[in-house]
Amino acid sequence: MAKLRYLDLFAGAGGLSEGFIRAGFTPVSHVEMDAAACYTLKTRLAYKWLLNEGKSDIYDSYLRGEITRNAFYAEVPESLLSTVLNYEISWDNIEEVFQKIDDNLDGEKIDLIVGGPPCQAYSLIGRARDENGMLGDKRNYLYKLYGEFLKKYRPKYFVFENVTGLLSAKDADEKLHFDKMRALFQQCGYKTEYKTLNAADYGVLQNRKRIILIGKYGDGEKFYPEIPKIERTYFVGEIFKDLPFLRAGGGSARPIETKDYQGHYLYESGIKQMNHQMVTFHNARPNTEQDKEIYRIAVNLWNKEHKRLSYTDLPLHLQSQNNKESFLDRFKVVAAELDCSQTVVAHISKDGHYFIHPDILQNRSLTPREVARLQTFPDDYYFESVSGKPSRTTAYKQIGNAVPVCLAEKVAKALKECW
């Protein structure tokens, strides 16, 4: 089969893209507005190129901080790095974005477009937090720009991903955005079908439901591919088994060696490639004494009664948040003995302490690497910042916004069978 080339819009840190690459698709361009995520995409492309050239030691040297990011990027073709386009797609710049993509295509055809606009405008939490319920938010209408890419490149298929709140989000005229979206895609020449998929059914150790809408150019129906589910045979504790013990504030963003691992899940999911592998961003945020006291209460409650902590059940001296009407489950123990954890939320960069390590002796929030494993990012995936210096907060943000890699891979493999 000839190369199947795809364009990734609203690419984020590349969770969706990583899954499609694993399935054998070839990226033409990634378009993303967040500068830090663009550096992450560039670094991932650079690593894969160096690995193919037998020069992965250069990547290792970069992760250890022995060479700068500029020196690292200088080791790979500029034409590769230039496929990552740092744009906030708008009506003002769409023609410029088209030109950049065309330059990268070099006369070839785009077979597939993947990606989903930022989800905050559609999410139930986003609407609850916004005083206007996200009415009029420009992110509600990014699908119209998505449609312009469909009209321009006419791929055989497209994959549009978003939160389940999309199904109920309404415009100012009380009509569903989802209905308007599908009508627009129909005007662009595409039939669409969708399903709500839970990442937990596809090898991911968290409950994370997403709308996966697939469009096919021309006529047709019942074309949605069969995506085989994976039996849940592993528990969340698998992600912790080989990671070094940490206290709050401990660890390092630089590479550290993992412990001996005799399990199977980390290999089967593609998270781990070898025993005693080095990992980055296994560093815990420095929590306050109040945070740690709450964590102890939350973990003890789970261990003794298998109950999640409600914020209003805390002693009054620990209730420092003004909002006591909603988000009462803001402190979540990632229970090791369950087959699926709580959903990793997109706003983990702000609320990372929601996700608490189940070991009372460690008594801390999860590290970016632990969260990345819940999202099934491979351990050799590095999350960049704008400055080039490791940033735990920036890593949390990119990981929380991502599509779990294993879910993306399963969708990609099923769709590939349709060619």
Q: Residue 379, exposed/middle/buried by CB under 10 A (0-12, 13-18, 19+)? A: buried
Question: Can you give the CATH number for the domain in which 72 is found?
Answer: 3.40.50.150
Report the pLDDT averaged over residues 279-291. Answer: 94
Looking at the fold, whether 205 and 276 belong to one and the same domain comes out as no
Report the pLDDT averaged over residues 351-377. Answer: 91
Looking at the fold, whether 185 and 326 belong to one and the same domain comes out as no
Looking at the fold, whether 37 and 124 belong to one and the same domain comes out as yes
Looking at the fold, whether 291 and 278 belong to one and the same domain comes out as yes
Angle at CA of residue 139, ends 137 and 144, nearest 5°: 120
Q: Please report which confidence band the pLDDT of residue 351 belongs to, taking 50, 70 and 90 as the band edges.
A: low
Looking at the fold, whether 219 and 249 belong to one and the same domain comes out as no
Question: pLDDT tens digits, residue range 26-76?
Answer: 999 999 999 999 999 999 999 999 999 999 999 999 999 999 999 999 999
* Distance in angstroms (rounded) separating the CA atoms of residues 288 and 355: 15
- Give pLDDT, residue 120: 55
Looking at the fold, whether 397 and 408 belong to one and the same domain comes out as no
Question: pLDDT tens digits, residue range 67-126?
Answer: 999 999 999 999 999 999 999 999 999 999 999 999 999 899 999 999 988 755 555 445
Question: Can you give the CATH number for the domain in which 383 is found?
Answer: 3.90.120
Strands (E), 136-189: 157-163
Question: pLDDT tens digits, residue range 331-346?
Answer: 889 999 999 998 887 7
Looking at the fold, whether 256 and 336 belong to one and the same domain comes out as yes
Looking at the fold, whether 249 and 225 belong to one and the same domain comes out as no
Q: What percent of the chain has pLDDT over 90?
A: 81
pTM of the model: 0.93
Express the helix, strand and coil content of the chain in percent, nearest 5 each.
40, 15, 45
Looking at the fold, whether 136 and 275 belong to one and the same domain comes out as no
- Give pLDDT, residue 124: 46
Mean pLDDT of the chain: 92
Report the pLDDT averaged over residues 306-314. Answer: 92
Q: Please report which confidence band the pLDDT of residue 385 belongs to, taking 50, 70 and 90 as the band edges.
A: very high
1 vs 382, more confident: 382
Residues 282/251, Cβ–Cβ less than 8 Å: yes
Q: What is the DSSP letter of 109?
A: P
pLDDT at residue 130 tops 50? no
Angle at CA of residue 198, ends 196 and 204, nearest 5°: 150
Domain count, the chain: 2
* Distance in angstroms (rounded) separating the CA atoms of residues 211 and 213: 6
* Distance in angstroms (rounded) separating the CA atoms of residues 154 and 113: 9
Q: Can you tell me whether residue 325 is helix, strand or coil?
A: coil
Looking at the fold, whether 57 and 24 belong to one and the same domain comes out as yes
Q: What is the DSSP letter of 166?
A: G
Question: pLDDT tens digits, residue range 167-204?
Answer: 988 888 888 989 999 999 999 999 999 999 999 999 99
- Is the Cα torsion angle 311, 346, 43, 159 positive or negative in sign? positive
Catalytic annotation, pick one of 119, 188, 340, 406:
119
Owning domain of residue 245: 236-401
* Distance in angstroms (rounded) separating the CA atoms of residues 181 and 123: 16
Looking at the fold, whether 280 and 247 belong to one and the same domain comes out as yes
* Distance in angstroms (rounded) separating the CA atoms of residues 168 and 132: 15
Angle of helix 35-52 relative to helix 15-22, nearest 10 degrees, comes to: 20
Question: pLDDT tens digits, residue range 215-273?
Answer: 999 988 899 999 999 999 999 999 999 999 999 999 999 999 999 999 999 999 999 99
Q: Known catalytic residue: 406?
A: no
Looking at the fold, whether 192 and 295 belong to one and the same domain comes out as no
